[in-house]
Amino acid sequence: MPPQEFDFKRAKFGGGFRSAATVPSMKIEVLTLFPAMFAGPLDESIIKRARESGLLDLKIHQLRDYTHDRHKTVDDRPFGGGPGMLLKPEPIFEAVEAIAREKTRVILMSPSGRPFSQAIARELGACDDLLIVTGHYEGFDERIREQLADDELSIGDYVLTNGALPAMVVIDAVARLLPGVLGDDESAKEESFSAGGPGLEYPQYTRPAEFRGMKVPEVLLSGNHAQIAKWRAEQARARTKERRPDLL
């Protein structure tokens, strides 16, 4: 098996350290042409803490390590013509066969996937093991989709240069749901997009009560909790109707 680059856990936290209290609850692997893109975002804040505590075992694999030719070719031109290049099957098949276990859920990231959502994040959070394969160029040879992928996800209707950012979005959304990853302060708030949720959040304010002439709505200072709850529900609904009528 080719060497694993960017194995953050070993590099930064001392190889192989584990104790009974730090057994990872989830393993996420990524197959990408751009491992360096993953170094910053997943090494900050809550995700950093999840990795350090062993709740999340994240490994990034370089797709080019699974080629055999001198030029480390990962792409080729589409049969039948057309613009751009496709990710060719051999390196991705070999990589997935080397990395994935029987229970691993293999996910492609591309604009052609089904729309990622909080519900899908919860679904993935229940898996032991994910392998996220990030797309590039015009996309994947269809046999990768048919034979290798359990799922194909999109984070929205726009085109990016590659699937690294979408993969990080999925990892962040899934990791924060793992038991123990969020602290009390972070998890106290109800999810805006939880199942059957109310839609968008109501407007919120903190001190000072007046800032540059802008006053916090009187009702929030009133101490009348029934009135406050009513105001918040109205505001949330109005905002949802205005910005996201599809949620109502």
Site residues, ligand JF5 (CB under 6 A)? 109-111, 135, 139, 154-156, 158-160, 162-163, 166
Q: Which is nearer to ligand JF5, 41 or 111 (CB)?
A: 111
In the complex, what is the shortest distance from the CB of residue 68 to ligand JF5, in angstroms, rounded to a whole number?
23
In the complex, what is the shortest distance from the CB of residue 113 to ligand JF5, in angstroms, rounded to a whole number?
6
In the complex, what is the shortest distance from the CB of residue 151 to ligand JF5, in angstroms, rounded to a whole number?
13
Q: Which is nearer to ligand JF5, 160 or 216 (CB)?
A: 160
In the complex, what is the shortest distance from the CB of residue 1 to ligand JF5, in angstroms, rounded to a whole number?
25
Q: Which residue's C-beta sits nearest to ligand JF5?
A: 135
Q: Which is nearer to ligand JF5, 48 or 64 (CB)?
A: 64
Q: Which is nearer to ligand JF5, 161 or 206 (CB)?
A: 161
In the complex, what is the shortest distance from the CB of residue 115 to ligand JF5, in angstroms, rounded to a whole number?
9
Q: Which is nearer to ligand JF5, 160 or 182 (CB)?
A: 160
DSSP secondary structure of the chain:
-PPPS--HHHHHH-TT---GGG--SEEEEEEES-GGGGTTGGGSHHHHHHHHTTSEEEEEEEGGGG--STT---EEPPTT--SS-EE-HHHHHHHHHHH--TTPEEEEEEEEEEEP-HHHHHHHHT-SEEEEEE-BTT-B-HHHHHHT-SEEEESSSS--SBSHHHHHHHHHHHHTTSTTTS-HHHHSSPPTTSTT--SSPPP---S-SEETTEEPPHHHHS--HHHHHHHHHHHHHHHHHHH-GGG-
